[in-house]
Amino acid sequence: MPADKSISHYFCHKQAIPITSSPSILDSPIEYLKGVGPLKADLLKKELGIFTFGDLLEHFPNRHVDKTTINTIADISAHTDFVQVAGIIEDVAIMGEKRSKRLVAQLRDRTGSLELCWFQGIQWVEKNIHPGKLYLVFGKTGFFNGRPQITHPEIEPWSPAMAEGKSFLEPVYPTTEKLKAKGLNGKQIGKLTMTLMEMISPKEIQETLPQSLISTLKLTGRFNAYCTIHFPKTVEEYEQALYRLKFDEFFISQVRLGLTRLSRHKHSRGVVFEKVGEYFNTFYRQHLPFELTGAQKRVLKEIRADTGRGKQMNRLLQGDVGSGKTIVALLTMLLAADNGFQSCLMAPTEILANQHFLGLSDLLKDMPVKIGLLTGSTKAKERRRILHELSEGSLHMITGTHALIEDPVQFKNLGLSIIDEQHRFGVAQRAKLWAKAVIHPHVLVMTATPIPRTLAMTAYGDLDYSVMDELPPGRQPVTTVHRNEMHRVRVMDFIRSEIEKGRQAYIIFPLIEESEKLDYENLMDGYEHVKAFFPEPKYWISMLHGRQTADIKETNMQRFVKGDTQIMVSTTVIEVGVNVPNASIMVIENAEKFGLSQLHQLRGRVGRGSEKSYCILLTSKLNNDARERIKTMCATNDGFKIAEKDLELRGPGDIEGTRQSGALNFKLANLVADKEILEKAKREAENLLSVDEELSSPENVLLKNYLLMQKGKTVWSKIS
Ligand code: ADP
Ligand code: MG
C-alpha cells in the first residue's frame, strides 16, 4: 500500500534516537517462570495465549476478592450472585455416570450447609479436597432442589487466622476448565503473577507518556499501574491503575492512527483540484434542484480543502439515510471535471448503480457533461464503447458496480473515486482503483451505516472523517411501530388504506445466507399471501430477490419506481440506497432476525418524500436482545443513537467489518463504557502530534521508542 507508510518509515527521514533494545525479561518464555513446568506452560499457551512473562503481566485479573469478607450460608438467597464462604467440607461423593458424572461435596458453616459440585477436574478435586478440613470457597450461587449450590467453585484451604489479617485484595484471573483441572484456577494464576512481579523492576516497565501529560491528567506512573492492577491495596488505588492502563491503550492507538494519517498526508501525492470552474458553478447556480443543507455545504468545504492541497484525499463520509450524499458526490465529480479529471462512482449493486446513473443523468441533462454506466450486465457492444470513451477521456464520469475496477477498464486520467454505501470497501480493492491512475485518485467513501463515534475514532481512525448530521428540510420523521404477526390482517388493511391515498409500500422478508432455500420459500409464501390480501385487479405487486437475473430485477424495480406497482415484496436486496419518494410504508417481516443497523437502513427507504411514513416491525416471540432492538427502533430515528445501541448490544468485535481491525484489540478498555477516556486520549494525542509530529522533543522520546519497539507486534502490522 504505497500511500500508507508504516510508522517506522515515517520517522526514518529524520535521525531516530537509537533504541536501547537489550532483551527484556518480559520477553522470556513462560516456561522459565518458577512454578510453570512444561505441561502448565503448554496449557497457558494454548488456553490463554500466554507465551511470555509479558503476556502474563498483561493477563489482567477480572476481579479482586477481599479475604476478610466472608458470607454466611444462611444469608444466601435467590438474589445472591457471588459469595465467599468458609466452612468444613463433608460428604465428598461421586455421583451419576458418563456425562452426568459429577463430584458433590457439602460445605458446612455454623449457619447451614451448601452443595458444591464439579463436572470437570473431578480427579484433581478428589485428591486435593479433604473432608473434615476448613476451606474458603468462592463462586456463583444457584439453587438446586431448594438448596443453595455452587458449581465449579474456587476452593482453597482456610484458617480463621486468615480472616483476621489486614484487608487484602486478592486478584482472581480469567482461566479455563482445562487449566483449573491442572491446578491453575483464577487464584493460582495470581501466585504466578506474584512470582513475576517480584522479578521485575521499573526498568522493565518504563514510562511511555510525557511527564507533562502525566501531571496534567494526574495519572499513576506506568510501572506502578502494572503492579497495582494486579495487587492493589485499596479499591481507589485499583481504579487509578485501571484508568491509567485504559488511557494508555487508547492513547497509544490514537497516536499511531494520527501518525498514519500524518504520514499519508506527507508522503502521498494527490492530484490537485485547484479551481472551482464552469461545470461546478453552472450546475450550482442553474441546475441544483434545492438549497444545500448546512451539513452538505460543510462537507463540500472539507472535500474542497482536501482535494486542493496536493495530497491524496481518503475520506469517509457518513450521512444517515436520506441525508443527501448523492448530490455531494455529484458536486465533487463536477469539481474533478473542472480540473480536467475523470471520476467514478461505484455502487454495491446493479440496482443502485442504475439508479445513480438515471438520477445523475437527469440532474445533468442540461449540462455538457458526459456520464456513463458500467455494470456486469452491460452488453458487449455498449461496454466496448464505454471502455473506449473512458480511455480516450471523452467520458467525464462513470457510475457502476465492481465492474469498474476490473482489469480492462482504463481511464485517461482518473482523479476521483467515490464508493457508495460500502465502508467495508477493502484495502485491496482500493489498491486496484489506485492502479488505474499514475497518481492515486482521491477517494471518498460514503456510507449510511451509522458508525458510532467511538468506532469512527478507532476502527476507521486512519481515514479523515466527515459527518452529515442534518436531513434536508421538510422531512417528516417516520413513525415506527411493533406488531405481533397475529395482527397481520390489520397491517394489510392499513397498507390498503394508504395505497388508496396513492402511496406505495415495501414488504421485506429476511434473507439469511445459511438457509437461502428456506428464505426463498418464505418469500414466495409471503408473496402469495400478499396477493391473496390484494386480489383486485387494480393492485399490482412487484417482487425482488437475489435469484432473479439483473434484467428482471431492474424491470421489477423500475415498475415500482414509476408507480406502476403499489407493493414491493422483497428480500433485503432492496436495502441500500434505493430511492422511491412515494413509498411511505415499510413492513418488515420477522423483524427480530435483523440487526439494528440493517433495520435502520431498511426504514430509510421510506420517509423520503413529503408524505407521512410508517415502518411496521412484525415479529413473533422475542428474546431479550431482539426486544431491545425493536424497542430502540420504535423509540428513535437517529442513526447515531441506533449505532451506539448496536455497539452496546453486540460489542465492537461483532460490528461488521471491524472484526479484523487491529485498532480494536483493547485488553482493558471498552469502547462503550470507556468512551470518555477515549475522547480524552484522542484529544491529548492530537495535541501532542500538533506540536511535535516527529516526537522528537526530549519529553516524547520515551513514547517514540515505545512505538518503534512495538513494531514487530501484531497490532502494528494492522496499522501500517
Ligand atoms: P442518501 O444520503 O441516503 O444517499 P440521497 O442522496 O439519495 O440520500 O438523497 C435523498 C433525497 O433527498 C433525494 O431525493 C435527494 O434529491 C433529496 N435531497 C438531497 N439533498 C437535499 C436538499 N439539500 N434539500 C432537499 N432535498 C434534498
Ligand atoms: Mg445514497
Q: What is the mean pLDDT of residues 713-719?
A: 31
Q: Are residues 392 and 538 in the same domain?
A: no
pLDDT at 167: 56
pLDDT at 363: 96
Check if the beta carbon of residue 339 is closer than 8 Å to that of residue 279: no
Q: What is the mean pLDDT of residues 352-359?
A: 90
pLDDT at 489: 93
Residue-wise pLDDT for 281-337, tens only, equals 999 999 999 999 999 999 999 999 989 988 888 888 988 878 899 999 999 999 999
pLDDT at 166: 55
- Cα of 696 from ligand 1 centre, angstroms: 47
Grid cell for residue 109: 458453616
Q: Of 188, 185, 86, which Cα lies nearest the Cα of 134?
A: 86
12 assigned to some structural domain: no
Answer with the one of 636, 655, 679 that is the final residue of a domain. Answer: 636
Q: What is the CATH number of the domain that holds 393?
A: 3.40.50.300
- Cα of 510 from ligand 2 centre, angstroms: 22
Q: What is the mean pLDDT of residues 471-481?
A: 89
Q: What is the CATH number of the domain that holds 121?
A: 2.40.50.140
594 assigned to some structural domain: yes
Using left for φ > 0, alpha for ψ between -120 and 50, and beta otherwise, residue 657 falls in left
For residue 20, pLDDT beyond 90: no
Q: Are residues 418 and 539 in the same domain?
A: no
Q: What is the mean pLDDT of residues 13-28?
A: 60
- Cα of 416 from ligand 2 centre, angstroms: 18
- Cα of 344 from ligand 2 centre, angstroms: 15
Ligand closest to Cα of 318 equals 1
The span from the CA of 371 to the CA of 286, in Å, is: 19
CB-count exposure of residue 462 (10 Å: 0-12, 13-18, 19+): buried
User: Ligand 1: does its nearest atom lie under 6 Å from the Cβ of 82?
Assistant: no
For residue 720, pLDDT beyond 60: no
For residue 662, pLDDT beyond 50: no
Residue 390's DSSP bridge partners are: none
- Confidence tier at 469 by pLDDT (50, 70, 90): confident
pLDDT at 187: 79
- Cα of 325 from ligand 1 centre, angstroms: 7
Grid cell for residue 355: 439508479
Q: Of 339, 334, 217, 351, which Cα lies nearest the Cα of 275?
A: 339
User: Ligand 1: does its nearest atom lie under 6 Å from the Cβ of 470?
Assistant: no
Which atom of ligand 1 is nearest to 323's Cα?
2
429 assigned to some structural domain: yes
Q: Which residue has the higher pLDDT, 82 or 654?
A: 82
Check if the beta carbon of residue 473 is closer than 8 Å to that of residue 322: no
Strand-strand pairing, 134-144 and 154-157:
antiparallel
- Cα of 307 from ligand 1 centre, angstroms: 23
- Cα-flanking dihedrals φ and ψ of residue 521, to 5°? -65, -40
Q: Are residues 496 and 414 in the same domain?
A: no
Nearest CA to ligand 1 atom 4: 325
Q: What is the mean pLDDT of residues 11-26?
A: 55
Residue-wise pLDDT for 193-204, tens only, equals 999 999 998 988
Specify the pTM: 0.68
For 357-478, strand residue ranges (E) read 371-374, 397-400, 414-420, 442-447, 464-468
Q: What is the mean pLDDT of residues 81-109?
A: 89
Give the least confident one: 164-173, 334-343, 466-475, 684-693: 164-173
- Confidence tier at 354 by pLDDT (50, 70, 90): confident
Check if the beta carbon of residue 86 is closer than 8 Å to that of residue 137: yes
pLDDT at 219: 96
Grid cell for residue 12: 526514518
Which atom of ligand 1 is nearest to 325's Cα?
2
Strand-strand pairing, 314-319 and 442-447:
parallel
Give the least confident one: 411-415, 476-480, 705-709: 705-709
Residue-wise pLDDT for 152-162, tens only, equals 888 888 877 76
The span from the CA of 571 to the CA of 510, in Å, is: 6
- Cα of 90 from ligand 2 centre, angstroms: 69
Looking at this protein, which amino acid is placed at residue 628? Answer: E
Strand-strand pairing, 504-508 and 464-468:
unpaired
pLDDT at 314: 84
Which atom of ligand 1 is nearest to 321's Cα?
3
Answer with the one of 150, 165, 180 that is the final residue of a domain. Answer: 165
DSSP class of residue 462? T
For residue 2, pLDDT beyond 70: no
The span from the CA of 571 to the CA of 468, in Å, is: 28
Long-range contacts formed by 240-248: CB under 8 A, 24+ apart: 242/668, 243/219, 243/677, 244/219, 244/220, 245/668, 246/666, 246/668, 246/669, 246/674, 246/677, 247/217, 247/219, 247/677, 247/680, 247/681, 248/208, 248/209, 248/222
- Confidence tier at 430 by pLDDT (50, 70, 90): low
Ligand closest to Cα of 293 equals 1
Name the range with the highest mean pLDDT among 89-93, 233-237, 306-310, 502-506: 502-506
Ligand closest to Cα of 608 equals 1
227 assigned to some structural domain: no
Q: Are residues 391 and 507 in the same domain?
A: no
pLDDT at 551: 82
- Cα of 718 from ligand 2 centre, angstroms: 30
DSSP class of residue 150? E
The owner of cell 498526508 is 265
Q: Are residues 91 and 153 in the same domain?
A: yes
Check if the beta carbon of residue 509 is closer than 8 Å to that of residue 571: yes
Q: What is the mean pLDDT of residues 598-625?
A: 89
Check if the beta carbon of residue 64 is closer than 8 Å to that of residue 171: yes
Strand-strand pairing, 414-420 and 442-447:
parallel
Q: Are residues 442 and 486 in the same domain?
A: no
- Confidence tier at 522 by pLDDT (50, 70, 90): confident
- Confidence tier at 652 by pLDDT (50, 70, 90): low
The span from the CA of 198 to the CA of 231, in Å, is: 12
Q: What is the mean pLDDT of residues 498-509?
A: 94
pLDDT at 4: 39
C-alpha angle 264-269-271 in degrees, rounded to nearest 5: 125
For residue 445, pLDDT beyond 70: yes
Domain membership of residue 106 as a residue range? 68-165
Q: Are residues 387 and 490 in the same domain?
A: no
416 assigned to some structural domain: yes
Grid cell for residue 607: 420517509
523 assigned to some structural domain: yes
579 assigned to some structural domain: yes
Q: What is the mean pLDDT of residues 103-109?
A: 94
Residue-wise pLDDT for 363-420, tens only, equals 999 999 999 999 988 999 999 999 999 999 999 999 998 888 887 889 999 999 999 9
pLDDT at 658: 44
Q: Are residues 580 and 431 in the same domain?
A: no
pLDDT at 14: 41
Residue 666 CA, distance from chain mean position: 13
- Confidence tier at 514 by pLDDT (50, 70, 90): low
The span from the CA of 303 to the CA of 320, in Å, is: 18
pLDDT at 575: 54
Residue-wise pLDDT for 38-73, tens only, equals 999 999 999 999 999 999 999 999 888 776 778 899
User: Ligand 1: does its nearest atom lie under 6 Å from the Cβ of 605?
Assistant: no
- Alpha-carbon separation of residue 104 from 78, 122, 143, 178, 441 (angstroms): 21, 9, 14, 19, 69
Check if the beta carbon of residue 339 is closer than 8 Å to that of residue 275: yes
The span from the CA of 387 to the CA of 405, in Å, is: 12
Q: What domain count does the chain have?
A: 3
Using left for φ > 0, alpha for ψ between -120 and 50, and beta otherwise, residue 446 falls in beta
pLDDT at 571: 85
For residue 511, pLDDT beyond 80: no
Q: Are residues 493 and 626 in the same domain?
A: yes
Q: What is the mean pLDDT of residues 263-274?
A: 81
- Mean per-residue pLDDT over the chain, rounded: 85
Choosing from 467, 579, 580 the residue with most ligand 1 atoms within 8 A of its CB, the one to mutate for a pocket test is: 579
Through-space distance between the first and last CA atoms of the chain, rounded to whole angstroms: 9
User: Ligand 1: does its nearest atom lie under 6 Å from the Cβ of 639?
Assistant: no
Exposure b/e, 680-709, CB count within 10 A at least 16 = b: bbbebbeebbeeeeebeeeebebbbbbbbb
User: Ligand 1: does its nearest atom lie under 6 Å from the Cβ of 325?
Assistant: yes
Q: Are residues 522 and 581 in the same domain?
A: yes
pLDDT at 515: 58
Name the range with the highest mean pLDDT among 3-7, 491-495, 561-565, 637-641: 491-495
Looking at this protein, which amino acid is placed at residue 314? Answer: N
Using left for φ > 0, alpha for ψ between -120 and 50, and beta otherwise, residue 434 falls in alpha
Q: Are residues 374 and 437 in the same domain?
A: yes
- Confidence tier at 453 by pLDDT (50, 70, 90): confident
How many C-beta neighbours within 10 Å does residue 218 have?
9
Contacts of residue 431, Cβ cutoff 8 Å, sequence gap at least 6? 1
pLDDT at 64: 86
Answer with the one of 447, 464, 491 that is the final residue of a domain. Answer: 447
- Confidence tier at 96 by pLDDT (50, 70, 90): confident
335 assigned to some structural domain: yes
pLDDT at 438: 72
Q: Are residues 396 and 527 in the same domain?
A: no
* Rg of the chain taking only CA atoms, in angstroms: 31
Which atom of ligand 1 is nearest to 581's Cα?
14
